[in-house]
Structure 1
Amino acid sequence: MMNSVSNYHSDTDEEQRLAALVAYDILDTPPEDAFDDITQIAALICDAPVAVINFIDRDRQWFKSVLGLNVRETPLDISICVHALFQPDLFVVPDTALDPRFMDNPLVNGDPQLRFYAGALLVSEDGHPLGTLCVLDHHPRDLNEKQRFALRALANQVMAHLELLRAHKKQAALIQELQSAQADLLQLASTDPLSGLLNRRAFEQYLNQELALIKADTSHASLVMIDLDHFKRINDNLGHDTGDWVIQRFAQLCRGVFRKSDVISRWGGEEFVVLMPNTPEVDALQAVDRLHQRLISEPIVYAEHQAVFITVSVGICSLTSTSELQECLRTADRLLYMAKDNGRSCTVCESSQAK
């Protein structure tokens, strides 16, 4: 005997019912104590050896909680619960062996010989039957009024817990969405829109943090300030679009030359600044030398069918346990302008000026 939900109502109703079931995201989830407690209570109150919380899927009935049986799902063609879906009230079968709908069912005339069935509907908020909380016995019998009331009440508790789980999932999804939006806003607030590098404000926060670490563990770092030489000529001769392109390509070049642990920022206009943690000045100079060599060996962009080369002027200072934010920024800026005064396309280090 084949039991199909479509035997009882239209295909459209069935699709809506299945959509309502899917919305709870309960199918194939692991056992949970809250549901197992309800089946235990149902079995105790109804004095039944078998109790099940099941949901009727498209081609199976799946057990969220089961007591007294060793299965988690069965095909619909042997399901008793599918008949309960469209009953107006509690569905009770005192003796399944005498009911023509079930007398040929292998669960009735074979193992585990389920001779008694009582199922209370699990109904969604919008009125769709999703499954049942049912109790079964191996002998014909009935439920008294108190047991019937308790079974209905426990079914309501199943649905209340499902609604609570769904509300928690929606809340978690909303929190995740808000956190993602906050991260996006933070990213926008800390990023220079043209270069994609950190902006000045965000860089100062990183620099403050690094100075605090240096004071705590007496480590060291280097601060590198870079200026694109004669950048105004690019804007004047090739246009501001090309100038913007140069800024973007230079940012990409810096990402390739400096380490992932280094913090790179567009300081403003054509100026850039790089924080190099745990890096002595001599190592910072080697990285800047690589930058100079890259700029000499390859054009930064091609514009109007011509290769555009640029050079940079650079100042490098050391960060120590006595360094202060504004002081080290002023020092790096002063060294940068010394490099520009020296003819540009060169680097001036703090240590070279101390001698």
Structure 2
Amino acid sequence: MAHLALCPRAADDPQDARILDVIARELGGPLRMALLVEEAQRAATTDPLTGIMNRRALLAALDIEQTRAFRFGYPMSLLMLDVDHFKSINDVRGHAMGDQVLSALGRLLASQARKTDIVGRWGGEEFVVVLSGAPESGARIAAERIRKSVEQLSLVDENLQPVKVTISIGIACLEINDSAAVLIDRADRAMYQAKANGRNCVVVAPSVLRRTGTELQVPLEILRE
């Protein structure tokens, strides 16, 4: 934004003061409008509780990144994260504590993300991290780093009692025929398999290209949890 260089005596001159008042009023309207538009755009793309992308913005960013990955031929992986026993946290410790857990997780994910990564809240206690340029090996390393960091979170409830938080993570690596919906579904199924495996762990979705008929086997009660 341009800055006005004003003579120190301008404010003492009535005519100059009137001119400055007109300029301020003329600039004030567009400036306020620009700030309102910026705030509206931020509200439309940001999850208010966690401060990271909401689902709508996440899907738009994923679509762009997926197109780039296909166009330039670089790998991309998607992590689906879910807070373990989140319903129990809400029921036993209260919804305020549940919100605190989600907010802390959002901050943690944002702090660990690279500039090229996409981080967003998928909904409820589920989060998505898109790792641009990351093959399966890199995605595993990133997922384990996140899992261990969450495990080490120091949170306490209103009674100053510690609250243990863990997450289950599913990984899906982008393949040639994957749409965004398919990629998310594969990561989601892998995440539920991580829960079926005992939670607080990472599972990689099997490659569609290398699949030999083995599917992720998730007990029905886990899917309904």
Q: TM-score, normalised by structure 1?
A: 0.52
Question: Which sections of structure 2, spanning at least 5 residues, go unmatched?
Answer: 1-11, 213-225
Is 1:261 matched up with 2:99? no
Query: Which residue is 1:235 aligned to?
Result: 90
Structure-2 residue corresponding to 1:17: 15
Other-structure match for 1:80: none
Match in the other structure for 2:59: 204
Selected match of 2:138 from 278, 283, 286:
283
Counterpart mapping for 1:175-324 below 5 A: 175-299=30-154, 301-303=155-157, 304-324=159-179
Contact 1:218 1:320 in 2 (8 A): no
Identity, in percent, stands at 34
Distance (Å, rounded) in 2 between the aligned partners of 1:176 and 1:18: 22
RMSD: 2.3
Which of 147, 164, 182 is matched with 1:327 structurally?
Answer: 182
Checking the alignment, whether the CA contact within 8 Å between 1:280 and 1:318 is kept in structure 2 is yes
Which of 321, 336, 347 is residue 202 of structure 2 equivalent to? 347
Q: Which amino acid aligns with 2:18?
A: A
Distance in structure 2 (CA, Å) of the matches to 1:263 and 1:174: 35
- Corresponding residue for residue 138 of structure 1: none
Amino acid corresponding to residue 108 of structure 2 in structure 1: L
Q: Where does the alignment leave 5 or more consecutive residues of structure 1 unmatched?
A: 1-13, 25-165
Code of the aligned partner of 2:199: R
Q: Give, in whole Å, the separation in 1 of the partners of 2:65 and 2:165.
A: 31
* Change in CA separation of 1:320 and 1:175 when aligned onto 2, cut-off 3 Å: farther
Higher RCO (Cα < 8 Å, 6 or more apart): 2
Q: Is the 8 A contact 1:313 1:347 kept in 2?
A: yes
Deviation, structure 1 residue 284: 1.4
Count of equivalent residues: 198
Distance 1:354 1:339 in 2: 19
Query: Matched residues in 2 for 1:311 and 1:259: separation?
Result: 22
Q: Which amino acid aligns with 1:282?
A: S
Paired with 1:294 and 1:311, the residues of 2 have a C-alpha distance of: 9
More strand by share: 1
The residue type equivalent to 1:339 in the other structure is A
Q: Compute the displacement of 1:15 (Å).
A: 5.4
* DSSP-derived class of the 2:49 partner: coil
- 2:197 alignment partner AA: N
Q: Deviations over 1:280-309 (max 9, x none)?
A: 12111111111222233342x111122111
Bigger Rg, which one: 1
In structure 1, distance between residues paired with 2:13 and 2:37: 38
Q: How does 1:140-159 map to 2 (within 5 A)?
A: none
Give the deviation of 1:204 after TM superposition: 0.5
Moved more, 176-185 or 327-336: 176-185
Q: Give yes or no for contact 1:218–1:321 (8 Å, CA) kept in 2.
A: no
Name the CA shift for 1:189/1:293 in 2 (closer, same or farther; >3 Å). Answer: same
**Is the CA contact 2:189–2:205 (under 8 Å) kept in the aligned structure 1?**
no
Task: Write out per-residue CA displacement over residues 151-205 of structure 1, whole angstroms, 9 at most, x where no aligned residue.
Answer: xxxxxxxxxxxxxxx59x93x6544433332221111011111111111111110
Is the 2:105–2:150 Cα contact (8 Å) retained in structure 1? no
